[in-house]
């Protein structure tokens, strides 16, 4: 197990370095931070001075080398916009994102799993059809749109929740729900179909023949098997919520997390801050992937580390 984790950690480090290089090159090719930082009437001379100050006039490989050399010492550069270490900003913005992503994820995972199991018990009945419809809607409706609809309905119309911002549990409800919907949808559909498969396996039928209660068969036999698929998808969903969903939802609700920060960094061409956000997300994503793989071995004795 120790060797396995070590191997995975080395792989993870390679992934993080690759992501850093790609983001570094792409951000420097597609945007010009200087143009955004200077007023419109700035002269070419002004530009050249600022470019040299920021070190952007040097060849991209030299810049990359510098960045990597600093990164090894945990110096990820100063934000062009806020003029302080990018990593400090990201770390300040991380806790709100964690609160939001984890609430949305747990909500989506639990409800999705319950809905999937209940739907699978009587496939084809009205309850199953209703849940499948709900799941498909959760997956297919765009989050920015649901986010706006919920604001119009619950915040503007009913006045139950604030339209945006953070600071209280009431602020958390709408963004967490919006983040949870696609997770709920996919978890429910995957859990449902693997539950239907499990409930039709010979070992579940033979468990019935042994007189076990329906509840025990559904929970201790079928769901335990189906749960492996659920965990796989849950890992992807957590990653997706963190790396994608959070950006959309935090922007719609002005939730002060790293997704919102990423949008601000992009608007301001703050390539150093953006780089910091991507790096932290990449580290979290590879960590989650390792945890999911370790979880498999706990759930399924047939899976071995190697």
Render the burial of 102-136: b for 16+ CB within 10 Å, e for the rest: ebbbebbbebbbebbbbbbbebeeeebeebbebbe
Q: Does residue 170 touch another protein according to CB under 8 A?
A: no
Tell me how far, at minimum, the Cβ of 301 lies from another protein, in Å.
Answer: 5
Q: Does residue 3 touch another protein according to CB under 8 A?
A: no
Quick one: tokens of 82? 């806020």
Q: Give the nearer residue to another protein in terms of CB position, either 94 or 207.
A: 207
Distance (Å) of CA 16 to CA 9, 235, 298: 10, 18, 26
> Segment 266-305, which members bind another protein (CB under 8 A)?
299-302
Quick one: tokens of 117? 């199991």
Q: Does residue 306 touch another protein according to CB under 8 A?
A: no
Q: Give the nearer residue to another protein in terms of CB position, either 58 or 203.
A: 203
Of 61, 209, 215, 306, the residue at the interface with another protein (CB under 8 A) is 209
For another protein, which stretch binds (CB under 8 A), given 4-12, 23-31, 53-61, 211-219? 211-219
Nearest-angstrom CA–CA distance, 299 and 163: 41
With tokens 């429910």, the residue in question is 188
Q: Give the nearer residue to another protein in terms of CB position, either 170 or 203.
A: 203
Nearest-angstrom CA–CA distance, 274 and 50: 19
Quick one: tokens of 200? 């039709």
3-state class of 85 per DSSP? strand
Q: Give the nearer residue to another protein in terms of CB position, either 29 or 209.
A: 209
Q: Give the nearer residue to another protein in terms of CB position, either 161 or 223.
A: 223
Tell me how far, at minimum, the Cβ of 222 lies from another protein, in Å.
Answer: 9
Contact residues for another protein, defined by CB under 8 A: 201-213, 216, 220-221, 224-225, 299-302
């Amino acid at each position: 197990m120790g060797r396995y984790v070590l191997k995975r950690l080395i792989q993870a480090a390679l992934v993080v370095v690759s992501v850093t290089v790609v983001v570094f090159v792409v951000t420097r090719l597609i945007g010009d931070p200087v143009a955004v930082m200077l007023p419109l009437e700035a002269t070419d001379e002004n530009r050249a001075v600022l470019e040299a100050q920021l070190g952007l006039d040097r060849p991209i490989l030299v810049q990359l080398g510098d960045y990597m050399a600093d990164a090894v010492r945990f110096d990820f550069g100063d934000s062009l916009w806020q003029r302080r270490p990018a990593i400090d900003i990201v770390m300040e913005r991380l806790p709100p994102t964690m609160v939001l992503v984890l609430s949305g994820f747990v909500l989506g995972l639990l409800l999705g799993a319950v809905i999937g199991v209940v739907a699978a018990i009587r496939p084809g009945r009205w309850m199953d059809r209703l849940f499948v419809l709900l799941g498909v809607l959760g997956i297919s409706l765009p989050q920015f749109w649901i986010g706006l609809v919920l604001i119009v309905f619950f915040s503007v119309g009913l006045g139950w929740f604030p339209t945006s911002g953070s600071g209280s549990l009431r602020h958390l409800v709408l963004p967490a729900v919006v983040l949870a919907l696609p997770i709920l949808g996919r978890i429910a559909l995957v859990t449902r179909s693997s539950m239907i498969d499990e409930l039709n396996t010979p070992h579940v039928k033979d468990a019935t023949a042994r007189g076990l209660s329906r509840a025990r068969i559904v929970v201790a036999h079928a769901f335990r098997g189906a749960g492996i698929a659920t965990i796989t998808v849950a890992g992807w969903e957590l990653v997706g919520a963190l790396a994608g969903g959070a950006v959309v939802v935090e922007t719609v609700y002005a939730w002060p997390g790293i997704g919102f920060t990423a949008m601000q960094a992009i608007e301001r061409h703050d390539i150093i801050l953006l780089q910091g956000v991507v790096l932290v997300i990449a580290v979290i994503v590879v960590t989650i992937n390792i945890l999911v793989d370790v979880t498999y071995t706990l759930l399924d004795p047939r899976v071995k580390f190697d």
